[in-house]
Amino acid sequence: MNSNVVFEWLGDLILTSTTVVFDNIGNLFNNAAIILGFIGLFYWLNLQRKYNQEAENDPNQIK
């Protein structure tokens, strides 16, 4: 038994395990990342709108 057999076995094991994981997940992670990104974007834009409105209503601020 030489090191080539061990490395081939290790490569096959990694390929099989990642294939099983990626086949079961599919596009779920990608879709979740896109949805969470849009939720974060709309949350941030809402906060920015509130901060801009506060800045317009405060005449004593330093610009």
Question: 4-54 pLDDT, tens per residue?
Answer: 999 999 999 999 988 888 888 888 888 999 999 999 999 999 999 999 999
Its pTM stands at: 0.59
| Confidence label for 63 from pLDDT (cuts 50, 70 and 90) | low
Q: Specify the DSSP class assigned to residue 60.
A: T
Rg (CA), the chain: 26
The length of the chain, given as a count of residues: 63
Query: H/E element holding 52?
Result: helix 28-57
